[in-house]
Amino acid sequence: MGVSTHTASISSMSAAQISADALVIGGGVAGLFILDALVESGVGALLVDAHPLGTGQTTNSQGILHAGVKYALAGSAGDDAVEASEAAALWSEMLRGGAGNDLRGVRVLTDHCWLWRSASWAGVAGMLGARLALRTAPVAVADHERPEWLRGVKGDVLKLGETVIDPRSMLQVLAVRHAARIVRGDVQSIERLANGASIAISGTQEYRVSASSVILAAGAGNERFSELAGASEPMQRRPLRQLMIRGSLPMVFGHCIDGARTRVTITSDRMPDDSVVWHVGGQIAEDGVRMEASDFLRYGLAEVASALPGVPLGGCEVGEYAVDRAEPRTSDGRRPPRAFAKWNGPCCTVWPIKLVLAPLLAKAVCAHVRGRSSSRAPTNGWGGLRDGVKMAERPWESQWNSQRVETR
């Protein structure tokens, strides 16, 4: 009853033989949270990734633990807003060391964001939607309570209980905790068996893992791995183009909204030379995929300057990069409303959809795996990350393209 597709041949005679309850494929936010949940519940789990941990969507994300406001701007809180709100509350507990998962080592960039409108009637409507739709509504602040960088904004400014983290530091906390259970290697084949699956892995050493459950948590890589496993879960890619601005800038965290859309979302981090980099997404990231890079830089700068009229951008450097959001396919090509996990025999394909939803997804997967588990501890032959935990770079560390533009 097995289905096996091989891209390379690994001899079962030469490979190290490993037995485990579960093998997680993919070392981003979904994979590491799932590994952590499994291990903490007593499941013998292992994780494999061919790349530095967090490569792709996780380290390219803005690190916002969305509390539901982004999905409630139309005036009502749907399932996606409610789920995000619940997940954000869980994160708050974990970042304080509670909820059974101590994440106090994660670098929190801010514990709140700001919400302001563009100078249009559509912006006013969106602001009202944000106030009315959420269970915990944003709070309007007086003019003197605004941060300096929002002093040039006309109209209401709201303070939003929305945390922003450094996603790489979050991965680091989880990866160091479970380094002995993580290996660098590429999955070559997944053979479904009567009581689980046999997975061939190549790397510095060859492995053949016998696992009761296989969790596909590799983002865009799930397309290939689901085919290897005979699951072939349909996937879509939603392209984005993100803007980066660095220079002598204030630390900015927030959303400028226009009607039911987020015009720009800005998060910030500090560079080693003490300059600040802005990581800019929102509607401009979706608009930018249809533009040439140079046109996008001009457009993105104009949008940011319009959203923050009181902040001078002269002398800053500008960059951009493209990234795909990998998700389960939807009929209209839009973002799926909820985190996704689907079982096909011993294999489960997952996409968290949003960073904030990863812990809830991990809990759901863990509950199912425990029902399948035979409580076999992994053997000592795995070896773990012998060369230490290696993390993917953040986009401003590696993806400043050649079209740097000096603003004037």
State the pTM of this model. 0.90
In the chain, % of residues over pLDDT 70: 84
Q: Is the pLDDT of residue 74 over 80?
A: no
Would you place residue 69 in the very low, low, confident or very high pLDDT band (cuts 50, 70, 90)?
Answer: low
- Give how far Cα 183 sits from Cα of 25, 50, 201, 267, 390, Å: 10, 8, 10, 32, 11
pLDDT at site 374:
60
The alpha carbons of the chain give a radius of gyration, in whole angstroms, of: 22
In the chain, % of residues over pLDDT 90: 67
Determine the Cα–Cα distance for residues 69 and 158; give it in Å rounded to an integer: 11
For the residues 237-260, what does the mean pLDDT come to?
Answer: 92
Superfamily of domain 16-58+170-234+330-372 in the CATH hierarchy: FAD/NAD(P)-binding domain (3.50.50.60)
pLDDT at site 77:
47
Determine the Cα–Cα distance for residues 196 and 215; give it in Å rounded to an integer: 12
State pLDDT tens for residues 15-59: 888 999 999 999 999 999 999 999 999 999 999 999 999 999 999
332 CB-near residues (< 8 Å, 6+ apart): none
Question: Hey, where are the domains in the chain?
Answer: 16-58+170-234+330-372, 64-165+237-328
Phi then psi for residue 347, to 5 deg, are -110, 135
Q: Is the pLDDT of residue 403 over 60?
A: no
Phi then psi for residue 55, to 5 deg, are -60, 130
Would you place residue 232 in the very low, low, confident or very high pLDDT band (cuts 50, 70, 90)?
Answer: confident
pLDDT at site 81:
67
Pick the CATH number of 64-165+237-328 from 3.30.9, 3.90.70, 3.10.20, 3.30.530: 3.30.9
Q: Roughly what angle, to the nearest 10 degrees, separates helices 358-372 and 29-40?
A: 50
